[in-house]
Structure 1
Amino acid sequence: MAGAARPLRVLIVTDTYPPDVNGAAYFTHRLAEGLAGRGHRIHVLRPSSSGPPHVVEAGEVTEHRVRSARIPFQPSMRAAVPLGLGGHVDRLLDRFAPDVVHVQSHFTLSRTALARARAAGIPTVLTNHFMPDNLYAHARVPRSLQSAAGSVAWNDMVRIAEQADHVTTPTPRAALLLREQGLTRDVEAVSCGIDLARFHPRAGERPAARASLGVPDRDSIVFVGRLDEEKRIDELVRALAVLTADLDAQLVLAGTGQREEELADLARVLGVDDRVHFLGFVPDERLPLVYAAGDVFAIAGVAELQSIATLEAMSTGLPVVAADAMALPHLVAEGRNGYLFPPGEVEVLADRLSRILGSRSERGFLGAASREMAGEHDHHRSLERFETVYARVVGAVPVRGRRRPVSV
């Protein structure tokens, strides 16, 4: 509890939480569990996974699940129902009386909680994980309207963020992006963090990991994440088709998404369908196996504000080949732990992958550097930083007539 003089009561508010599969959901879950493990009283306000509102004691974390409805075009995700939401939040704030409210987005539940916390005189922190690019495919926004839709979405996000007492985002590049979009207040980069003990080098376990996942024992390029448009997985498949002329390599994809069938068709057309393996959804407890099965991690997305999956791969000791876009260059030092490639340049991507897969000594050198660099993102450091942020806003914002808390 280095950053806080005493245990704090923190209400974490999020519009996405496991079983949702995305980086913001995973980060928020790990933040809640990590803070609770450090002695803080943590409650999470989130949409219900089933619809009706209810409260769940999830280990040391109390989850308040508000009424939800399915999101159009996203059958696996739900959003908070606005009707009655303000009153629900007010009652929770009154009973729990948190020292600080930490919202994880500017969407329905988070913005309501931010507004109600401000009205109650409770300090607020907002962490941004948002980029419009990650919503276009899900919301079925036509390409011709994406620029205009993105401007509207950014203006809305910035308007909400301006209301928080402190704003954070995962990387310096993500912070710069917020300022470029018009945010006038300070924004701090705080890494999502990585559990270095859970994701660690397992080079000797590769054959066993591959057998456990049901993939052949050959040199493997791995990717973990949603198989959606903005992730540009087709570039990885096309690069594999270039590689197979000289190398016995395969592509292992862990995740599901809207483009899975399309990607399988592409692999068949390119003649590499026997070398592209779709693992589907991999439970969090089995994720370390996926990285253990790999020789190199590849990511072609251009809308990454950090990329938890890339950090997990680095912590496991994998070299990384990543698109030279958004925040990915913060994680890849050219020639030290991997290589960058211009987005869309499949031939260059294939060349970088070939360079790594063709040399075991380079794999070892780059992988060791990845593990060393991942140490800068130790999740304990991130938790300490958020403790410091909470302590600062609690000390800076006066409490205006809140009731004493009752047990909840």
Structure 2
Amino acid sequence: MITPHPHRAVPGSIPKYIISPSKVCINYATIKVYHMKIIIGSESFSPNISGVAIVTENLAHHFAKAGHQVFVFAPSETYKTYTDTRFKDLSVIRFQSIPNPFRKTFRVAFMAQQEIVREYIKIKPDIVHIQDPTSICSILKKTARRHHVPIVAHNHFNLDYVTSYIKVLKIIHPLIHTLLRKYLTRFYNACDAVICPTQTVLQTLSSWGITTPLYAISNGVDIDRFYSWSNPSNFLLKYHIPRSPCVLYVGRLDIDKQIDVFIRSIPFVLKHTQAHFIIAGDGGENKQLHALARALNIDHAIEWLGWIDNASDDLPILYQIASVFVHPSPIETQSIVTLEAMASGLPIVAARAGALPELVTHGENGYLFEPGDATSCGTFITKILGDSTRMHAMRKHSLEKVSSHQIDKSFDTIQTIYETLCARS
């Protein structure tokens, strides 16, 4: 954790940190502030539907708007390397890639090492920020280390995320976990700082024996954007949504998210309320989830909106019209959509697993159910919808809990880490 100095830095100064694995103390030194060249590497970037893609894009746009030169290294959408000109304030370089065999619509930069190194040398970055431990980021880490450039790693990774896609090999999941843990420990110990979105993740990485300084920094949310109110009439007409109590899920429709648990909870809720259900997202399980809803004879109660872009003006209104937000995934390292729902003042019903219990206090701003328990999920949804006083209190508590997750605070802390490492290098 960062121990804050009781006074603000004077203009032209930045805090200089003496970093150890267990403690960080601030020693103020006058250092000339300059605009940095930042390379951000990520295997997942727009237009991918993923939290990592959103975090990477938010981070890149923020530092570009702050006057830094930002270069994003990401997989191409073809088999060729090219510069993506769709981003006005960013330089996005897409490296030749192949389809990801485990995740539809995702790609893996493969056989692009020489091109990545060549672009790196042309840029001569001051700092490298990597969002995952795979191909592009692995090459960036090695190259930055060779050129003595500081490396910040962001851990969005959960071991169960990988094994959720290879259930057929369940017998060797413990072995896969062991191998991944060893690889990640070596990977992060070769970096200069590791950012974790939650204390849950930080404690996990610390238990593995990672000695690189670890920082728990929320992914953050633009509270003003999601707390604002707009007339929803046009939105309701556009998406053909009735004005009944609404239960919402936003995000990927992939196997690790366990959206089938949410869908299986709907028949129970419909026995007790006249609620409507909205699923806004897309992914590899889309067809299977539609089929499940038809098999349960509840497809009429669900609006399938598809993916709504994170930058769309429709997204805050979508949260605004909801009564309850549901997140059944058991492997979240934080959950951006849950932060957005909380900033919109929604009660949360979520799996008691991963880092979600850091955001949801059972009985206070929502309820936690055991992973996979559709009946409990439905019971808690019904409990909130059936008690307006309880719902109002939970809305208030969500707003109170999310207040410490303002995204600008997260960016400020990350910039301090950047400047500190650059000053030391």
TM-score, structure 1 as length reference:
0.90
Which residue of 317, 327, 348 corresponds with 1:320?
348
Whole-Å separation in 2 of the counterparts to 1:7 and 1:347: 53
Verify: 1:108 aligned to 2:135, yes or no. yes
SS of the residue 2:43 aligns to = coil
Q: Shift in Å at residue 348 of structure 1?
A: 2.3
Verify: 1:279 aligned to 2:305, yes or no. yes
Whole-Å separation in 2 of the counterparts to 1:93 and 1:67: 15
The code of the aligned residue for 1:335 comes to: G
Query: Structure 1, unaligned stretches of length 5 or more?
Result: 398-408
Which residue of 203, 206, 213 corresponds with 1:179?
206
Aligned residue pairs total: 394
Q: Which has the higher contact order (CA 8 A, sep 6+)?
A: 1
Identical columns (%): 29
Q: Shift in Å at residue 363 of structure 1?
A: 2.2
Aligned position for 2:284: 258
Aligned position for 2:257: 231
Aligned position for 2:321: 293
* Deviations 1:288-308 (CA, angstroms, capped at 9, x unpaired): 232123111011111000000
Q: Shift in Å at residue 207 of structure 1?
A: 5.3
User: Pairwise mapping of residues 347-362 of structure 1 onto structure 2 (< 5 A)?
Assistant: 347-362=375-390
Aligned position for 1:68: 97
Aligned position for 1:305: 333
Q: Shift in Å at residue 368 of structure 1?
A: 2.6
Whole-Å separation in 2 of the counterparts to 1:44 and 1:259: 29
Which residue of 51, 74, 88 corresponds with 1:59?
88
Aligned position for 1:364: 392
Whole-Å separation in 1 of the counterparts to 2:228 and 2:348: 14
SS of the residue 1:42 aligns to = strand
Whole-Å separation in 2 of the counterparts to 1:47 and 1:221: 35
Verify: 1:193 aligned to 2:220, yes or no. yes
* Deviations 1:323-370 (CA, angstroms, capped at 9, x unpaired): 111100111123332121222333322222112111223322222322
Which residue of 83, 103, 111 corresponds with 1:82?
111
The code of the aligned residue for 1:50 comes to: T
Verify: 1:151 aligned to 2:178, yes or no. yes
The code of the aligned residue for 1:278 comes to: W
Whole-Å separation in 2 of the counterparts to 1:320 and 1:50: 39
Aligned position for 1:405: none
Which residue of 54, 62, 83 corresponds with 1:34?
62
Aligned position for 1:338: 366
Kindly indicate whether the alpha-carbon contact (under 8 Å) linking 2:117 and 2:139 is maintained by their aligned counterparts in 1. no
Aligned position for 2:161: 134
The code of the aligned residue for 1:118 comes to: R
* Higher alpha-carbon deviation: 284-293 or 132-141: 132-141
SS of the residue 1:43 aligns to = strand
* Deviations 1:166-191 (CA, angstroms, capped at 9, x unpaired): 11111000111212334233311111
Aligned position for 1:373: 401
* Deviations 1:11-53 (CA, angstroms, capped at 9, x unpaired): 1111110111110111000000011112221111111123311
Kindly indicate whether the alpha-carbon contact (under 8 Å) linking 2:103 and 2:284 is maintained by their aligned counterparts in 1. no
Which residue of 218, 233, 242 corresponds with 2:244?
218
Kindly indicate whether the alpha-carbon contact (under 8 Å) linking 1:3 and 1:385 is maintained by their aligned counterparts in 2. no
The code of the aligned residue for 1:77 comes to: F
Aligned position for 1:400: none
SS of the residue 1:26 aligns to = helix
SS of the residue 2:389 aligns to = helix
Whole-Å separation in 2 of the counterparts to 1:201 and 1:294: 14
* Higher alpha-carbon deviation: 180-189 or 326-335: 180-189
Distance 1:73 1:334, change over 3 A: closer
Kindly indicate whether the alpha-carbon contact (under 8 Å) linking 2:192 and 2:212 is maintained by their aligned counterparts in 1. no
Whole-Å separation in 2 of the counterparts to 1:175 and 1:51: 36
Kindly indicate whether the alpha-carbon contact (under 8 Å) linking 2:192 and 2:213 is maintained by their aligned counterparts in 1. no
SS of the residue 1:244 aligns to = helix
Aligned position for 2:74: 46
Aligned position for 1:165: 192
Distance 1:126 1:338, change over 3 A: same
* Higher alpha-carbon deviation: 321-330 or 87-96: 87-96
* Deviations 1:69-109 (CA, angstroms, capped at 9, x unpaired): 212243411111225x1x32333332222111111111011
* Deviations 1:265-290 (CA, angstroms, capped at 9, x unpaired): 32233332211222222223132232
Aligned position for 2:6: none
SS of the residue 2:226 aligns to = coil
Whole-Å separation in 1 of the counterparts to 2:231 and 2:342: 16
Distance 1:215 1:136, change over 3 A: farther
CA RMSD between the two structures: 2.1
Aligned position for 1:404: none
Kindly indicate whether the alpha-carbon contact (under 8 Å) linking 2:351 and 2:369 is maintained by their aligned counterparts in 1. yes
SS of the residue 1:167 aligns to = strand
Query: Structure 2, unaligned stretches of length 5 or more?
Result: 1-10, 16-32
Kindly indicate whether the alpha-carbon contact (under 8 Å) linking 1:223 and 1:297 is maintained by their aligned counterparts in 2. yes
